[in-house]
Amino acid sequence: MDMKLTILIALSALMIQCKNTSSSETGTTETFSIPTSDTTVTAQSMSASSQASIPSSQAEASALFSEAERAFSEGNKEKAFQLCRQAAELGDADAQFNLSIFYYNGDGTTRDLTETVSWLTKAAAQNHPQAIMQLAVCYEQGIGVKHDDKKSTEYYERAAILGNAYAQYRTGLAYYRGIGVIPNYETAVVWYTKAARQGQPEAENELGLCYENGLGVHNLDTKEALKWYKRAAGHGNATAKQNYERLSKSEGEIFVPM
């Protein structure tokens, strides 16, 4: 298993208990980890001519990171950490992100949350999608930094712009509730819709609530609300299933149990 895949798996150790952020909170907790399906950075093959045009520092960083991959796959975390740090110091964004994970987990080094955030910030400055997402969590929960809703939402919105569905949902939620931003139902609906169109279940449920209550949409629309509740329920959202059942009965719709 190469290092990139291993490091992504290592994100499971970075899972953080967040309070359920749905509008219909019950006080329960959910396990949050970065959705890697739409943020994973994949290596691109390069022709010999394009490789020749790479600056020497970038080529050196790439070589060091490859060595770090090999060391990590062989179980030598200390060597992998050192090589990864060298690549990160040369400006490699993937190495910077992975180095933050080394520091968070204490693999091959002493666990250091301040260093975690420092290297996440460097990677995020290069638009590394996973680093941006993780920084949103760090500022949201005060991991290695002071809790800061404004910065957390800024990073969620950056990740949302890059297309991450969970970040789009969280950005919508921030605008709906006024978390670090001025509340704006219309903007919330824009982001909920983007996330819902990617099949993000919490966003689908929230969008249903917006249509049911006429918030941020042109008109109250129970049929549209039912549509989004049904989709969210189909994606496993228990709250959406309850909302669908409730609204179906109140509207006299033919209710088909899910």
Q: Which residue has the tokens 């992504």?
A: 8
**186-203 exposure pattern, b = at least 16 Cβ within 10 A, e = fewer:** ebbbebbbbbbebebbbb
Within the chain, what is the greatest distance between any pair of CA atoms?
Answer: 69
Provide the pLDDT for residue 28: 32
CA angle, 138 as apex, 158 and 187 as ends, to 5°? 35
Q: By the 8 A CB rule, do 230 and 257 touch?
A: no
- Is the overall model pTM greater than 0.85, yes or no? no
Provide the pLDDT for residue 150: 98
How is the chain split into domains, by residue range? Answer: 78-126
Provide the pLDDT for residue 57: 86
Average the pLDDT over 45-63 and give the result. Answer: 61
CA 110, CA 195: separation in Å to the nearest integer? 38
Provide the pLDDT for residue 253: 57
Res 41 pLDDT > 60:
no
Q: In residues, how long is the chain?
A: 258
- Transcribe 197-236 into DSSP letters: TTT-HHHHHHHHHHHHHT-SSSS--HHHHHHHHHHHHHTT
Q: Which residues pair with 17 in a beta bridge?
A: 31
Quote the distance between the C-alpha of residue 156 and its chain's center: 7
Average the pLDDT over 9-29 and give the result. Answer: 37
Res 96 pLDDT > 90:
yes
Res 235 pLDDT > 50:
yes
Res 33 pLDDT > 50:
no
CA angle, 8 as apex, 7 and 10 as ends, to 5°? 60
Tokens describing residue 176: 């709906």
CA 143, CA 153: separation in Å to the nearest integer? 15
Provide the pLDDT for residue 70: 95
Res 43 pLDDT > 70:
no
Nearest to 7 by CA among 36, 46, 30, 38: 36
How many other C-beta atoms are found inside a 10 Å radius of the C-beta of residue 72? 26
Nearest to 169 by CA among 210, 121, 214: 210
Res 42 pLDDT > 90:
no
Res 131 pLDDT > 60:
yes
Q: pLDDT above 90 covers what percent of the chain?
A: 74
Q: pLDDT above 70 covers what percent of the chain?
A: 76
Average the pLDDT over 221-241 and give the result. Answer: 97
Q: How large is the C-alpha radius of gyration of the chain?
A: 21
CA 257, CA 219: separation in Å to the nearest integer? 28
Q: Which residues pair with 19 in a beta bridge?
A: 29
Provide the pLDDT for residue 252: 64
